[in-house]
Structure 1
Amino acid sequence: MGKKRLALGLDSSTQSLSAIVIDIDTAEKCFEHSLDYRADTRLNRFGIGEDYILPPREEGEAEQPPLMYLASLDAMFADMREAGVALENIVAINTSGQQHGHVYLNRNAANIFSSLQKLESSASELKTLLSDVFSYPTAPIWMTANTVAQTNHVRETVGGKAEMINLSGSDAPLRFTGTVVRRVAEQYPEHYTATAKIQLISSFIPAVLTGNVNVPIDYGNGCGMSLMNYRSKTWDPALLAATADGLTGGTETFHSKLPALARPDSIVGNLAEYYVEKYGFEERCTVIAGSGDNPQAKVPVAGDLLSLGTSFVNMVSTDGDTLDPEGFANAMYDGINRPFMFGCRTNGAMVWDAVRNRYGLSKEEYVPAEAALAQVAPGQFMTFWQPKTESFPVSGAYDLIRSVGQPTLAEDYTGIIETSLAAVYTYSAVFTKQTQAPLFVTGGATDSPEIMRRVAGIWNRPTLPVEKGGAALGAAVAGVKALHDAANEHFDIEAFSASVLKRGEPIQPLPEDVEAYHGAGKYLERFREKYEQIMAAHPV
């Protein structure tokens, strides 16, 4: 029997670096580990605060130290070796990175990166070897919100909201990379001028792994930049021109700072000698282009995926042409290049927890709440509450609004669950195909039969609970597919994903629930009318 073949998925997220190792031939998870940037003593020396960002110089700024990402790689590989993971059996490494986050690399970066190919580099550490590669010292991340002027400029220059969506697949959210780069260039022109390459965090990590500063940006994460034409998967001339308007060197110089674009599951090289010598990796270990955390999290599920976490994330598979004309959702490609729409509702399960808390129940006290849900038939009550400004659909924050004067736990809890689910369903309808294919659902709410019953009724399709996978797992699965593709071998990614990501039994919608929600003048119709009134009264 030959040696095991392992695939490693890495997720460089806002708060941690996570790793999952999968046995390619058995679809078994062999190792899982996560390093918290604040809790790990090797990583908590880079100046981030409790919010995991550096102290902002102004409101809306959100940046992290890229040296922390480098230190986390060394720490992770050291821990894996210490844990007895057979690093020499890892034949593919695929990565995920927090979307929109990026780094600015100077003209010396290419030569410095290539030093990782030298045997003697293993005597040092990544944070030391690569300390001088940055033209701008920090990495702006997805929490950035100070780009209103830049975003408006780009949107208006290309012809307005509809054309912005038509070109990029999104309505230029503040966090998207292109307008953040424009702001950095306006505020710090000397740093922009000194920049030779801009890499997303998701492409920066494979660049560090291969010792090649010119690793491409993938299509999936390229969608989160307001620079790529969604349908042609190329840097869009109009978007580039609008973003570079007035910057030093204009469009041509700006374009030169961007890497090429590639499929997220393409092979971009082999692991650099640094890792072979220092940790014992196999020198022929392939490195995959990688993608963002949301595209990678979507990989193990081919259909529509609803994640019911603190915030709600709805990932809807599409034909690649369907977009959201309102701009609430963003068009993306997943980690194996399948198109999907991404919508994120900020006020998710955290509001459910807050309602239970009003009745004296702690966050983990689900039994009384479940019993209360069972007392109420679906489609009866509406409770609205947005403690935070909402992005799906865009609307302001407001306090609790009820449909009854003296509510009980059952009425309030049912009401808040059904209105928040109805919001996701209603404002996703424009890009969601009507189908009886199962809706995959993940998150703690999958343990609640009453909540899952309501999901099935509102979506009017079977719902299928799946365990939480995460971006590192998706990256590992996509890495396995990339290996098989490179060898021209058949690979059933659905069967492999079903083995590595456990699924429950499907829950069928009950006819009476479907009627209560979807009938003429029934819940969903009344919900939309009431919610539109509330949003009009509470603009952003």
Structure 2
Amino acid sequence: MAIIVGIDVGTQSTKTLWYDTTSRKTLALTQKAYGLTERPDGTREQDASWWIEAIIACFSQVDPAIREQVEAIGVSGQQHGFVPVDAAGEVIRPVKLWNDTSTAAECGELNHALGGMDDLLSREGNPILPGYTASKILWLKKHEQQSYDRLDMILLPHDYVNFFLTGEYSMEYGDASGTALMDIRSRTWSERILAAVDSERDLRKMLPPLREASEPAGHVCSRAAGLLGIPRGVLVSSGGGDNMMGAIGTGTVADGPLTMSLGTSGTVFGCYSHPVIDSKGRLAAFCSSSGAWLPLLCTMNCTVATERVRELFGKDVKSFDALAMEAPVGSGGLVMLPYFNGERTPNYPHGKGCLMGFTSENMTEAHISRAAMESAVFGLKYGLDAFKELGFPITEIRLIGGGAKSGPWRHMVADVCDVPVVVPQVTEAAAFGAVLQAYWAWGTEKGEPEELTDIITEHVVLDGNSACMPNASVVPLYQEAYVRYLSYVGNVAPLFS
């Protein structure tokens, strides 16, 4: 029996998934929630120590007999966060997260210095957006000079967890590509972007060695082993960002299927054998954590919209879904723009939540609830359209995240996107992807290498009972509502961009 652990360090909580590769069963799934520091200027921060405390708490919930048999660990982490570390390995300040929009001015400064979006897309493959790491580094330099002077190592959240586990610094290509410091086509650091962030210090010396997806980040050190109650020397795989791990956990490692995640943020992504650069800047051009490329659309506001409305109306999840389904497709013309945290796609860092199109007929709890659900899916269809425009055939959507557990959500995604929808049996896709990547690295280190695609074929199972086909009578109604939604998105640009 080979027990592999996947650690998923998310925005709201950390989860661990304990998987027996022989029986192909999940032995344990543990979770520990934590908070988020928010300020009106767009600040979204967490203390890195919260993640470590949560990991220790998650491991402590598992039977010691299972912990003693762990063979490998993989780590998934929320992308883009900036963990500044000093020469002693101490975190200098709270971590600016992926949904922190307080660095919008620094983004503008960097984009201007580097020739604008078109030049960045043609040369490096990505513009510099507030969610990415690059502007966070410049923000620290401009606003907290003493902290910046202490900076010795630039880490991402999953890199920091790997450092806690192994005592070694490393960074993996998939997560690294989300820093906006990398030339995506060549998978190398961009000298001109690094110089634009700081023309005096050599930032290359502050970036850890890059690891291939199949390489280990190291092995569990004595300190981490004692805190977690696991053997010293357990292999730790390279890990990756949560979306990259989600691609592995859903089997999205080749052309055809797309994965869509309905969580606090919303994402839709596919895996391709070559770089995919969207000239309109809708899709982020990332590397995958499986040795390929992962074009991705991310919206900062997805189920956050429905959760806020659900709380406002005092409904539980099932009651909210039922209430929303009382309203007609298109919510009677009511449109929500759920930009509660600003927005990344479209690039509206100053965005605010909006409800538009009220009439005396649609000003009801049911219509508002449905408008919130539809806004989340419409935002992701925006990315699906980009994939289609770039000529990629889409065979199905593999749905993950909290929304994937809901029948109304699954049917809405199928009908809005006009694509079949299916849900993987293991719903914690990021943690499971970390498991499978760690299993891949563990077998390679033992001298028994397998292809990642073969591992996925053996272990990723889709739940046929959850499958939803598009309803031909409903699809045109959603198309009309989506066009209306896009008109509102375009018209608020002067306010929020």
For residues 42-61 of structure 1, the aligned pairs below 5 Å read 51-53=35-37, 59-61=41-43
Aligned letter for 2:385? A
Shift of 1:76: 4.2
For residues 155-304 of structure 1, the aligned pairs below 5 Å read 155-212=111-168, 215-245=169-199, 249-250=200-201, 253-276=202-225, 281-301=230-250, 302=252, 303-304=257-258
Matched, 1:65 2:47: yes
Of residues 457, 466, 475 in structure 2, which corresponds to 1:495? 457
Aligned letter for 1:65? D
Instruction: Quote the residue 1:400 is aligned against.
Output: 355
Distance 1:276 1:380 in 2: 53
Shift of 1:473: 2.5
Matched, 1:531 2:488: yes
Of residues 65, 78, 82 in structure 2, which corresponds to 1:98? 78
Shift of 1:92: 0.8
Distance 1:242 1:173 in 2: 15
SS of equivalent residue, structure 1 residue 471: helix
Matched, 1:332 2:282: no
Of residues 435, 438, 448 in structure 1, which corresponds to 2:396? 438
Shift of 1:5: 0.9
Aligned letter for 2:335? F
SS of equivalent residue, structure 1 residue 101: coil
Distance 2:41 2:493 in 1: 27
Aligned letter for 1:221? D
* Higher Rg: 1
Number of paired residues?
481
Q: Which moved more, 1:412-421 or 1:232-241?
A: 412-421
SS of equivalent residue, structure 2 residue 158: helix
Q: Percent identity?
A: 21
1:497/1:370 Cα in 2 relative to 1: closer, same or farther (>3 Å)?
farther
Shift of 1:464: 1.2
Distance 1:60 1:98 in 2: 18
Shift of 1:513: 3.5
Asked whether the 8 Å contact 2:129–2:347 carries over to 1, the reply is: no
Distance 1:283 1:390 in 2: 43
Shift of 1:96: 1.9
Distance 2:41 2:331 in 1: 42
Matched, 1:382 2:333: yes
Shift of 1:227: 0.7
Instruction: Quote the residue 2:323 is aligned against.
Output: 369
Deviations 1:228-267 (A, max 9, x none): 111211111121111113xxx43xx221111122223421
Instruction: Quote the residue 1:6 is aligned against.
Output: 3
Deviations 1:296-345 (A, max 9, x none): 22321213122234543322344543233343442223432442233233
Distance 1:269 1:137 in 2: 25
Q: Which moved more, 1:171-180 or 1:461-470?
A: 461-470
SS of equivalent residue, structure 1 residue 506: strand
Distance 2:403 2:8 in 1: 24
Instruction: Quote the residue 1:118 is aligned against.
Output: none
Asked whether the 8 Å contact 2:16–2:59 carries over to 1, the reply is: no
Asked whether the 8 Å contact 1:382–1:419 carries over to 2, the reply is: no
Deviations 1:332-359 (A, max 9, x none): 2343244223323344345446667888
Distance 1:526 1:192 in 2: 46
1:414/1:319 Cα in 2 relative to 1: closer, same or farther (>3 Å)?
farther
Deviations 1:174-209 (A, max 9, x none): 232222122223344444344332222211222222
SS of equivalent residue, structure 2 residue 460: helix
Instruction: Quote the residue 2:103 is aligned against.
Output: 147
Matched, 1:29 2:26: yes
Aligned letter for 1:462? P
Asked whether the 8 Å contact 2:174–2:288 carries over to 1, the reply is: yes
1:241/1:421 Cα in 2 relative to 1: closer, same or farther (>3 Å)?
same
Distance 1:185 1:103 in 2: 14
Of residues 402, 409, 416 in structure 2, which corresponds to 1:458? 416
Shift of 1:23: 0.7
- Unaligned residue ranges in structure 2 (runs of 5+): none
Asked whether the 8 Å contact 2:337–2:375 carries over to 1, the reply is: no
Aligned letter for 1:26? S
Distance 1:221 1:443 in 2: 20
1:411/1:184 Cα in 2 relative to 1: closer, same or farther (>3 Å)?
closer
Deviations 1:406-465 (A, max 9, x none): 236776655554455334213541234553511112345445555534422332221113
1:310/1:364 Cα in 2 relative to 1: closer, same or farther (>3 Å)?
farther
Asked whether the 8 Å contact 1:299–1:334 carries over to 2, the reply is: no
Distance 1:179 1:167 in 2: 18
Query: RMSD across aligned C-alpha pairs, in angstroms?
Result: 3.4
Aligned letter for 1:104? P
Matched, 1:87 2:67: yes
Instruction: Quote the residue 1:114 is aligned against.
Output: none
Matched, 1:483 2:442: yes
Asked whether the 8 Å contact 2:297–2:383 carries over to 1, the reply is: no
Instruction: Quote the residue 1:18 is aligned against.
Output: 15
Distance 2:42 2:406 in 1: 37
1:233/1:323 Cα in 2 relative to 1: closer, same or farther (>3 Å)?
same
